[in-house]
Structure 1
């Protein structure tokens, strides 16, 4: 498989992941595990290297998203916020129903 074909396959796979709420949630979790916005520096150089490596993977994923669609990453952030809000609302309704039961 050529590099171009591999990139096309990755782009197709990313579109598939982003087409499902569960895929968005998983991708958001993976990016969160990459600690993109955290401080990677530590007094232990090995820890710093490890954290910088995690962030590098997260940036590679975002670069892939940007190569597919420049709106993909910001849209992911907004979509996950909507998904979480809907889940919280549903949980609130469930709690309200339990309060009304005898």
Structure 2
């Protein structure tokens, strides 16, 4: 599909339930991102990693949060909140 979003999913299961260990290194602090601080603190992925253009970072983070809640309706109720991981990618 030509959505303008590239998504990397580490496994076929539900990442919120079956988290994946993760770490980070910032090579260029100029790009927009969502979710880096929580990965640094907790050391896990809870959603796929998404790459999109600058103006779509927030929209993609919202969509990923909604998708996680659709799979696990108790997120932010009886379960913890979800941390989407979205990065800007130069589409120029």
Please give the range of the TM-score, normalised by the shorter of the 2 chains: 0.3 to 0.5
The two structures have a TM-score, normalised by structure 1, of 0.30
Structure with a larger share of its residues in helix: 1
Q: Which has the higher contact order (CA 8 A, sep 6+)?
A: 2
- Greater CA radius of gyration, 1 or 2? 1
Structure with a larger share of its residues in strand: 2
The two structures have a TM-score, normalised by structure 2, of 0.32
